[in-house]
Structure 1
Amino acid sequence: MPSDVTTHSAAPAARSGPVTVALVGAEFGWGSSGKLSAVLSALRERSVPRLRFVGLASGLGRPLLAEHTVDDWYDLPDDPGRLAPAVREIVRSQEVRAAVVVLDGAAATALLAAGVPTVFVDSLPFLWSEGDRAALPLDATVYCAQKSVELPPECLDILAGARELRWVEAVIARPRAAESERGAGRRTGRPYRRALVSLGGLRAPRLGDPAHYPRLVVPAALEALSAYGVEEVHIAGNLPGDLAGRLVDASIAPPRTTTGPLGHRAFLDRLADCDVLLTSPGLTTLLEAGGLQVPTVCLPPQNLSQIFNGRFHSQALGARLRVPWPKAVLAEDEALALRAEGEDHALELIYGAIGAAAQGTDRQAVGHALRNGVLEALRRSTRVDDWGALTTAVGTDGAAQVADALLGVLRPTDPLF
Structure 2
Amino acid sequence: MAELLSIILAAGEGTRMKSALPKVLHPVGGLPVVSHVLRTAQGFGSKVAVVVGPNHEAVEAAVTRFDPSCQIARQEQRLGTAHAVQQARAALEAASGHVLVLYADTPLVTARTIGNIVSKLDDGADMVVVGFRPGNPTGYGRLLTEGSQVRAIREHKDATDAERQIGLCNSGIIGFRSDALRGVIDRIGNENAKGEYYLTDAVELATGDGQRVDFIEADAAELVGVDNREKLAEAEATFQQFKRKEIMAAGVTLRDPNSVWFSWDTEIGRDVTIFPNVVFGPGVKIADNVEIRAFCDVEDAVIGEGASIGPFARIRGGAELGPNVHLGNFVEVKKSKIGAGTKAGHLSYLGDAEIGAKTNIGAGTITCNYDGVNKDRTIIGDNVFIGSNASLVAPVSIGDGAYTASGSVITEDVPADALALGRARQENKPGYAPKLKQRALAKKAAKGK
Task: Please report the TM-score for the alignment, with normalisation by the length of structure 2.
Answer: 0.25
Which has the larger share of helix? 1
- Higher fraction of strand: 2
TM-score scaled by structure 1?
A: 0.27
Higher relative contact order (CA 8 A, sep 6+): 1
